[in-house]
Structure 1
Amino acid sequence: MIVVARYSFPHEAHIAKASLESAGIESYIADEHTVNTQWLYSNAIGGVRLMVAERDAEQALQILNSDFSQDVDNEMPGAERSEVCPKCGSHDVVAFTKGKRSAFLVFILLGFPLFFYKHGYKCNQCEEFIEKL
């Protein structure tokens, strides 16, 4: 096994490991528990190491160095949104949580949360709230 990448935090290594495993490359994370226990040691020991078999190293490096952000942007649910405001017919709607401020205020005043907010969309043209289905 050889080291193909080093990370400051274990969660970064796990994301990279998942990318490799989705391509069928078996990998191993080293020093994860040491960094979790004493995160200040991360730089001293060289971070969390992502290791693969020597035969898979070239392919693993190619996957880890690839930029898939454009593919993710194209698949985002909001990218081709079909929500239309029922009041004015505008397509200028954004994700919005109704009642979030009052729920926070109740939490501050009473000391325990009351979750009475709703997730949905808000029209930027007429300020109408549209509930998620």
Structure 2
Amino acid sequence: MKAIRSYDNYINANMQLSLLKDAGLNCYIQDEYTITIDPLLSPALGGMKLMVNEEDIEEANRILETTERTFLENVACENCGQKSVQKIVNVKTFDTVWQQLWSVLKNGQPVEQTTVYRCYSCGAMQEEL
């Protein structure tokens, strides 16, 4: 088994787990109960991890990416109402070892990743959908 996604929210984790199980893939969520009980442990543990058999990783990623793409095609922009929302993932890397260490302690990884959603039509940015 190998981790293909990491979550800090058990609802999102279980929704994607259900998608994969419905497709017949053998998978589970690692550290779900620990992080649900104590969310402050999430950065130290690297979040709840969606674990999938190694031979199913390609299929699992395809299912999850297709689902996300379909979802984004049907979300209307809060500003203009057009269905043209795009997901943008920003990755910030750190120069010094101390910055990387702080990021690992805070985020569970040596880089800082943020996600925003931008409308193609009007350019409005949203942090959440």
Identity %: 34
Displacement of 1:68 after TM fit? 2.1
CA offsets, 1:25-79, max 9 Å, x none? 1211100011011111111210000001000011101111222227867xxxxxx
1:29 counterpart residue number = 29
- What is the match of residue 99 of structure 2? none
Q: How does 1:40-55 map to 2 (within 5 A)?
A: 40-55=40-55
The yes-or-no answer on 1:15 pairing with 2:28 is no
Higher relative contact order (CA 8 A, sep 6+): 2
> Whole-Å Cα distance in 1 between the matches of residues 57 and 43 of structure 2?
23
Q: Which structure 2 residues correspond to residues 1-133 of structure 1 after superposition, within 5 A?
A: 1-66=1-66, 67-69=69-71
Instruction: Give the match's secondary structure for 1:24.
Output: coil
TM-score (norm 1): 0.50
Q: How far, CA to CA, are the matches of 2:24 and 2:73 in structure 1?
A: 20
Across the aligned residues of Structure 1 and Structure 2, the Cα RMSD in angstroms comes to 1.7
How far off its partner does 1:12 sit? 1.2
* Structure 1 unaligned regions, length at least 5: 74-133
Q: Which of structures 1 and 2 has the bigger CA Rg?
A: 1
1:70–1:34 distance in 2 versus 1, CA, 3 Å: closer
Counterpart CA distance in 2 for 1:68 and 1:25 is 20
Query: SS where residue 25 of structure 2 aligns?
Result: coil
- After TM superposition, the score normalised by the length of structure 2 is 0.52
Give the number of equivalent residue pairs.
73
